[in-house]
Amino acid sequence: MLIKDSLKRKKIDSMGLKTHLALVSVPMLLLLVCWEGLLNINATFSLAFIAVIYLIGYGLSYNFHQRRLNRLWKHLQQVIHLNNTTFELVHIANQYPDEGEFLNALLAKALNSIDAAEMGSIIKVNNDTEELYFESAIGIDIEKLKKINLKLKESFQYRFTKGRCDRVVVINNMANINAHSTLEPTDQQALLMTPEAPIKSTLSSPIHIDGKLYGMLNLDSAKLKAFSHYDRNLAAVLTHEAANAIALYQKSRQISHLANFDSLTQLYNRQRFEAGEQEWQINSDLGSYLVILDLDNLKAINDTMGHQAGDKALQGLAAALKQQWHLKHLVARYGGDEFIALCHGPLGQIEDDLKQIRRTLAEQYACEIASEDQNADVKVEFSVGIAKYCGDWNKCFKAADDYMYQNKRLNRQD
């Protein structure tokens, strides 16, 4: 959706009514004041006087024109700066572990780009419930902001654009505008007083991604009438670039997720595990161990209950591994019915964890099957092989794999 402002009309600056009046009225006023005197003097002096009036008018025009050129040059520099900073953010997007941290970096760039902005926030919109929630804030206590109950229809952006949310809105006196909102008095007070200095002016610009309202960028100041028409136009450029940066960030995260995670279990895939193994730090005191796990009866589950039940068995083991190890160790689905983990010791702790994983898998999967099929009596178990990891991957993997198959043969005999 296009943001309706002067930028979309291919204008980044314009002369106000006061400027036009000054350029027209000053020379005319001088002529009117001196008109009677001009009639009583000779023609040469009259022409000279008119020339002086013309030069004054020309000087005013030149002065205003030069000031506008300076503003346009400054604007161009800031737009280039915005493009560079958003490009930089997108380029290093993978360094941000979640979208919230990325938005914090984006908001910091926005505050540095508009001189009048002293603090600000990014508000996201839940398009299903039309609820607003504060995702990022600088200079304002984000935890207090998150306690405010705010609907899209209660926002300045919605109210001043009659629900279209298609242009930059500038609020010159927040206290007066806020007093006429439908927010609870406590929420009104929180919006104004949460920052160290009370907010008196706000510039709110909508962020649209793929045709939908993603959220709003709010830039705030403790001064009355802090934001100009020029700031509003600059904010329009900023939010356009911000929307592109957020969209590219989301796509890069999706690509990264698809490249590094198994789609069925949401554990790391083999590629991501092998990359993590190269960076693994061996703990000389506790030791490091490679653990290979293989579901014993996946084929039987698929044959007797269908592949959906088999998928649930794989997801059940993955969930048990996540619950026990995901935050501490490097865990992945290595392929098919095989899972793998690099763990810090001691060995006794790893063996205790495996016992807990077996119990969790048996309890959770049994409950799921029982709720769907009262007659089902299928156990989900796994074989495991463990080998001490000393940095020699091939040797360690072969040892753990051999132990795992020995364990599988013993389980079949039982």
pLDDT in tens, 368-391: 655 555 455 667 789 999 999 988
Higher-confidence residue: 89 or 105? Answer: 105
Q: Which two tokens stand for residue 15?
A: 């002369």
Asked if the bond preceding 185 is cis, omega within 30° of 0, the reply is: no
Please give the span between the terminal C-alpha atoms of the chain, in angstroms, as a whole number.
66
pLDDT at 249: 86
pLDDT above 70 coverage of the chain, percent: 79
Is pLDDT above 90 for 136? yes
Domains of the chain: 1-258 (3.30.450.40), 270-413 (3.30.70.270)
Task: Tell me which amino acid residue 254 is.
Answer: Q
Q: Where are the alpha helices (DSSP H) in 261-306?
A: 270-278, 298-305
Per the CB < 8 A criterion, the answer to whether 107 and 205 are in contact is: no
Q: What is the mean pLDDT of the chain?
A: 82
Find residue 171's DSSP bridge partners. Answer: 202
Is pLDDT above 80 for 342? yes
Q: Which two tokens stand for residue 199?
A: 């907010």
Length of the chain as a residue count: 414
Is pLDDT above 50 for 3? no
Higher-confidence residue: 78 or 271? Answer: 271
What's the CA gap between 240 and 119, in Å, rounded?
20
DSSP tag of 268: B
pLDDT at 43: 61
pLDDT at 308: 87
Task: Summarize the confidence of residues 153-167 as an average pLDDT.
Answer: 89
Task: Summarize the confidence of residues 227-250 as an average pLDDT.
Answer: 85
Is pLDDT above 80 for 97? no
Angle among Cα 239, 209, 2 to the nearest 5 degrees reads: 65
What's the CA gap between 240 and 246, in Å, rounded?
10
pLDDT at 13: 55
Higher-confidence residue: 79 or 294? Answer: 294
Long-range contacts for 26-32 (Cβ within 8 Å, ≥24 apart)? Answer: 26/56, 26/57, 26/60, 27/53, 27/54, 27/56, 27/57, 27/60, 30/56
Quickly state the pLDDT bin for 32 (edges 50, 70, 90).
Answer: low
Entry pTM:
0.67
Is pLDDT above 70 for 179? no
Quickly state the pLDDT bin for 220 (edges 50, 70, 90).
Answer: very high
pLDDT tens digits for range 307-333:
888 898 899 899 999 988 877 899 999
What's the CA gap between 120 and 139, in Å, rounded?
7
What's the CA gap between 138 and 105, in Å, rounded?
10
Find residue 341's DSSP bridge partners. Answer: 291, 331
- Residue 126's SS3 state is strand
Is pLDDT above 50 for 2? no
Quickly state the pLDDT bin for 146 (edges 50, 70, 90).
Answer: confident
Long-range contacts for 306-314 (Cβ within 8 Å, ≥24 apart)? Answer: 309/369, 309/378, 311/264, 312/365, 312/368, 312/369, 313/365, 313/380, 314/264, 314/265
Quickly state the pLDDT bin for 124 (edges 50, 70, 90).
Answer: very high
pLDDT at 400: 95
Is pLDDT above 90 for 137? yes
Q: Which two tokens stand for residue 284?
A: 């000389």
pLDDT at 393: 92
